[in-house]
Amino acid sequence: MTRGRFITFEGGEGAGKSTQVTRLKLALETAGHAVLTTREPGGSDGGEDIRALLVNGETHRWEPLTEALLNYAARHEHLEKVIKPALASGTWVICDRFADSTMAYQGYGHGMDRETIRRLHRLVVGDIAPDLTLIFDLPVEAGLERAGIRGQGEDRYERMGLDFHERLRQGFLDIAGKEPRRCVIVDALADMGAVAAAVRAAVRDRLGAEF
Ligand SMILES: Nc1ncnc2c1ncn2[C@@H]1O[C@H](COP(=O)(O)OP(=O)(O)O)[C@@H](O)[C@H]1O
Ligand SMILES: [Mg+2]
């Protein structure tokens, strides 16, 4: 059995990640691939309980290290119970946010010591890495405006200041610059069809997929 491919979508609030996760899943399924879409924080039964602690409530309710620990606790459940079994069975996994979001939000956004995050990462994730990470980039104001129109609650991070969101954006771009083989930056300001085409092109080029 060939291992499935692991693709992650990263970027700020309202960038269009969830929209494009759904579109990529459909395109890959049409080409005959088995695809599981999932998300972080969350993605497993217990992980979704942890998600609720992170995305609701007062903006300052957690210490940055607590947020990182909650994210990595949920990620451990997600990896062991959902992601690893799916990949082993040949299913492609598309994950709406993954570990780069912890580095961007807690590291760059909240200014947490990055080496501490890397230590948590080694403990929980080890050698597993996405085969491809799409980093959705757009001006902060545009993303927050889209997220505001979308509504649907879960807005604890959206309520953090513009400077926080600017640090996030720079953080994601920094991560992409450090790992160019894994990461592709997508212009998320383009219309949905153009973004979908860019995503498909990246999956074809980087993973050699035909679809
Ligand atoms: N390329 C796009 N152009 C304009 N609006 C978009 C685009 N992509 C998504 N949207 C809209 O913006 C909002 C946020 O998109 P969403 O996919 O939920 O972003 P994210 O998951 O990155 O927070 C939604 O209302 C969605 O319909
Ligand atoms: Mg989303």
Residue 74 lies in a domain: yes
Mutate-to-test residue for ligand 1 from 18, 19, 135, 150, highest number of ligand atoms within 8 A of CB: 19
Q: What is the pLDDT of residue 1?
A: 77
pLDDT tens, residue by residue, 65-99:
999 999 999 999 999 999 999 999 999 999 999 99
17 lines ligand 1 (CB under 6 A): yes
Residue of the nearest CA to atom 14 in ligand 1? 14
DSSP string, the chain: -PPPPEEEEEESTTSSHHHHHHHHHHHHHHTT--EEEEESS-SSHHHHHHHHHHHSS-TTSS-HHHHHHHHHHHHHHHIIIIIHHHHHTT-EEEEES-HHHHIIIIIIIT---HHHHHHHHHHHTTT---SEEEEEE--HHHHHHHHHHH--S--TTTTS-HHHHHHHHHHHHHHHHH-TTTEEEEETTS-HHHHHHHHHHHHHHHH----
Q: What is the pLDDT of residue 40?
A: 98
pTM assigned to the model: 0.97
Q: What is the pLDDT of residue 152?
A: 78
Residue 128 lies in a domain: yes
- Per the prediction, the chain carries an average pLDDT of 97
CATH number for the domain spanning 120: value is: 3.40.50.300
**What's the token pair of residue 37?**
């879409």
Q: What percent of the chain has pLDDT over 70?
A: 100
169 lines ligand 1 (CB under 6 A): no
Mutate-to-test residue for ligand 1 from 150, 152, 154, 157, highest number of ligand atoms within 8 A of CB: 150
> What's the rounded mean pLDDT across residues 132-149?
96
147 lines ligand 1 (CB under 6 A): yes
130 lines ligand 1 (CB under 6 A): no
**What's the token pair of residue 84?**
């690893």
Domain range holding 27? 6-207
Q: What is the pLDDT of residue 64?
A: 95
Structural domains counted in the chain: 1
Identify the residue with better confidence: 152 or 30.
Answer: 30
Residue 1 lies in a domain: no
Q: Count CB-CB contacts under 10 A for residue 124.
A: 20
pLDDT of residue 211 exceeding 90, the answer is no
192 lines ligand 1 (CB under 6 A): yes
pLDDT tens, residue by residue, 141-200:
999 999 988 877 899 999 999 999 999 999 999 999 999 999 999 999 999 999 999 999
Q: Which atom of ligand 1 is nearest to the CA of 19?
A: 17
Q: What is the pLDDT of residue 11?
A: 98
Residue 103 lies in a domain: yes
14 lines ligand 1 (CB under 6 A): yes
